[in-house]
Structure 1
Amino acid sequence: CGMDRNIFSIAGFIRHFGCFIMAGEGKGRRQPVHADDLADACLKALDNEHTYQQEYNLSGGETLTYTQMVRLIFGLLGRKPRVCFVNRSLMNAMASMISVLPGLHHVTPAMLGRMEEDFCFDHARAAEDFSYDPRGFLETSYYSHFSYRPNAAEKNKHVLSELKKKKILVTGAGGFIGFSLCRYLVARGCSVYAVLRDARQLHELGSQVTPVVIDDLCEVHDWQEMLADIDVVVHLAGYVHERAGNLSEKAGLQCTRLNVGVTRRLATAAASAGVKRFLYVSSVKVHGETSNHDESVTEYIDLYPEGSYAKSKLTAENLLREIESTTGMETVIVRPPLVYGPGVKANFLRLMKLVEKGIPLPLAAVDNRRSFIYLENLVDVLALSLVHPAAAGETFLVSDDECVSTPVLINMLADRLGVTPRLFPISVQVMRLLAAVGGERSTVDRLVQSLVINATHVRDTLDWEPPCSMEQGISKTVYWYQQLYDPVQARPSQLAAYASSW
């Protein structure tokens, strides 16, 4: 898995041709195992005297057919699965002909035949002797290029084990955060009911995901049937506010309908259906657009929402607290800042493109501090909030460990992109004046102002630490952008940026 030649060859073929050619039916079963899991097993075996002179199978934590594995790779690339099944004899004849070409010597009938063969091994003895516990294919691919196991995840492993077999309804499941959260929950053994506009968006996640296709959430007035036997609801769907500034009157009304009306109806129905916990993803914007340079935002300071989007989020939060107090349904509210990671769009993606192209940016004189959160960190804390007993009734501000200035962020991106950052100084006042002329004043404000989150409350309450540092998160995001991002083929739903834009 990860940088494995076979996996990356399949991914490369899909990126180049948009499809994959399968010899036969691809019924051969596989147990792909990640290199980090193998390394961890080796260290455990070396540290255990009972393993001496013994032999062990070290297979992966999930059994897939070759076809299932290919379909999952399509999904991880943000592509609709297009698998062409070709007669085995015909494919063997074609392989014999093209194997003589330079660079294609590995394409042989024997290689194609392995698509139909089983390569599965029982690792029960390894699990018994030294607690070998490999992850499934989706879980390892979720951690992407760096794929490391942080101590933070081990610390809450017993709490996260409570996720197994839970029935969880996720709204906004086809979006940037929702798609990744569904992948995470499936890997943890949850039964996920994914509310989204197109069932094909989650086809690659398999039978553990039940698509709930709804074109317009505002038109749903009865959620009872969909909430039957659901343990937990994660409400991610809402108005996506990609651009800075105030919304038009029409957009403001739609924002209120989605962020307030839908939330009210869903939460009321969830409480009536006996849902134990309701997790709502709000936004740091309820605290305002800025913080003082040397001060940070906490859950206990006054709220200053600006604009329709932030006000609708705060109204929804207050409604949920009212429903919680009258029904007893546990409610958790999470307020993230800008979310970045593989699949990001909007301003963060635009910034990466500008830095990659070497376009000079007048931001060298900016002296601000901003908090961000990497997608993997957000998904981790959301999952923990679903089952941690101490999360009930809480509101959490969440962020990465570090906060950085805009110039530092640009330098981090440039370093990972392998380019020289091109920054030059212009006073903030001049920038704002020029931006006002071009109608981009609000965008510039978010580039030059500070917004720092103090995430002490969530870390102390849930004993949580971000699995990835910001440096690792930036590296993974840039890796995705350079290796996997396809502006033509990528699904908009997977690339849609979360509403908390800067």
Structure 2
Amino acid sequence: MAKKLLVTGASGFVGRELCKHLVSTGYEVIGVTRSDRADLPPGAILHRCNLEKDFLGDSLLRDVDCIVHLAGQAHGKGGEDHQELDHFRQVNVDVTLRLAKAALDSGVRRFVFVSSIGVHGAITDGRPISEQAPFNPESPYAVSKMEAELALIRLFEEEGESELTIVRPPLVYGDQAPGNFGKLLKLARMGIPLPLGRCSNRRNIISLSQLAAFMAVCIDHPAAGNETFVVAEESPVSTSDMVRALRAGMRRSAGLFPVPQWLMSSLLKFVGKRGMYIQLFCDLEIDGSKARKKLGWVPKSGSIEQLEEIGKRYADSLD
């Protein structure tokens, strides 16, 4: 009999890909989403539920082997009131704990919580982030993810025999990606010259398909229980590498011109865009060796090639 899994946020960018991957590998997948018109892959069972208001009843959780909790309030989504810490806490902490308690009460074997590398901060300075790195969240979103992690760990230590697994991904790239990668993709398509010619930062990222594959390992691997993992592709890339690859796929020239980094830092900070400077020019390196050693998971290489393919598909879809 196929194991029954429940995925929250199933209609989101990561959720759709995860459901597709899990269905293709033989799991029985229940996708929880706010919309009853969500585009889930064939074979996934849609369950409409607003986790902020509705309760997942015992009947739905009966015989569920694992819950993957992806739903939450993302940074930059919604109006200004949605960017306050209190709102992030309501969605990313309170809802998560309520769902986790329901999982414990129903005897769900494992609860996989998808957090963010942002709980460790937004910049590294020669020392890649590992699971042992100190917390240093710099945004209300990252603070809420950190608080959710800590509350979950206390809850699972105190109650029941269910296992908790925490995953902290960095920027996730792929077709139709939202957030910063989606903005970068559109910017690359515009073809305007960009002041990234001297940008040589080092950032570890992960493709959508690779993240879905890793989470599938976390669902089933015996050694993943009660563990935390930072996860990323092994070879870091720079922002300029990403733009070059995307534009190569779009059959465009790189269009990058050199500007001293100190000047870009001063200009962006002067206009109140310090966050943009960090995202475009600063390092965020990740040490994913724990996942390799403990789970035997080795991400596929070839970020540049995958970015080129994304650029090609994006350009073709607009032609």
TM range (shorter): over 0.9
Partner residue of 2:121? 288
CA distance in 1, matches of 2:161, 2:306: 37
- How high is the sequence identity, in percent, across the aligned residues? 36
Partner residue of 1:190? 27
CA distance in 1, matches of 2:301, 2:174: 11
- The correspondence for 2:157, drawn from 296, 319, 325, is 325
Listed one character per residue, the Cα deviations across residues 47-86 of structure 1 (whole Å, up to 9, x for unaligned) are xxxxxxxxxxxxxxxxxxxxxxxxxxxxxxxxxxxxxxxx
Q: What's the CA shift for 1:250?
A: 5.9
CA distance in 2, matches of 1:354, 1:450: 21
Flag the 1:189–1:485 CA change in 2: closer, same or farther, 3 A: farther
Unaligned runs of 5+ in 2: none
Give matches, 1:86-485, under 5 Å.
Answer: 165-202=2-39, 205-206=41-42, 208-214=43-49, 216-221=50-55, 223-242=57-76, 251-292=84-125, 294-326=126-158, 327-484=160-317
For the residue of structure 2 that corresponds to 1:403, the secondary structure is coil
**Aligned residue identity for 1:296:** P
Q: Is the 8 A contact 2:2 2:27 kept in 1?
A: yes
CA distance in 2, matches of 1:331, 1:237: 16
Q: Is the 8 A contact 1:403 1:452 kept in 2?
A: yes
Q: State the Cα RMSD in Å.
A: 2.0
Unaligned runs of 5+ in 1: 1-163, 487-502
Listed one character per residue, the Cα deviations across residues 439-498 of structure 1 (whole Å, up to 9, x for unaligned) are 322112211110000000001111011135213321332233123469xxxxxxxxxxxx
Q: What's the CA shift for 1:267?
A: 0.4
Q: Is the 8 A contact 2:172 2:205 kept in 1?
A: yes
**Aligned residue identity for 1:262:** V
**Aligned residue identity for 1:458:** A
CA distance in 1, matches of 2:258, 2:300: 35
CA distance in 1, matches of 2:25, 2:110: 18
TM-score under structure 2 length normalisation: 0.93
Q: Is the 8 A contact 2:116 2:168 kept in 1?
A: yes
**Aligned residue identity for 1:166:** K
TM-score under structure 1 length normalisation: 0.60
CA distance in 1, matches of 2:20, 2:85: 32
**Aligned residue identity for 2:182:** L
Flag the 1:356–1:221 CA change in 2: closer, same or farther, 3 A: closer
Listed one character per residue, the Cα deviations across residues 396-427 of structure 1 (whole Å, up to 9, x for unaligned) are 01001210122222222222221111112222
CA distance in 1, matches of 2:76, 2:246: 21
CA distance in 2, matches of 1:347, 1:218: 26
CA distance in 2, matches of 1:446, 1:277: 34
Q: What's the CA shift for 1:200?
A: 2.3
CA distance in 1, matches of 2:309, 2:191: 20
Aligned length: 316
CA distance in 2, matches of 1:305, 1:225: 37
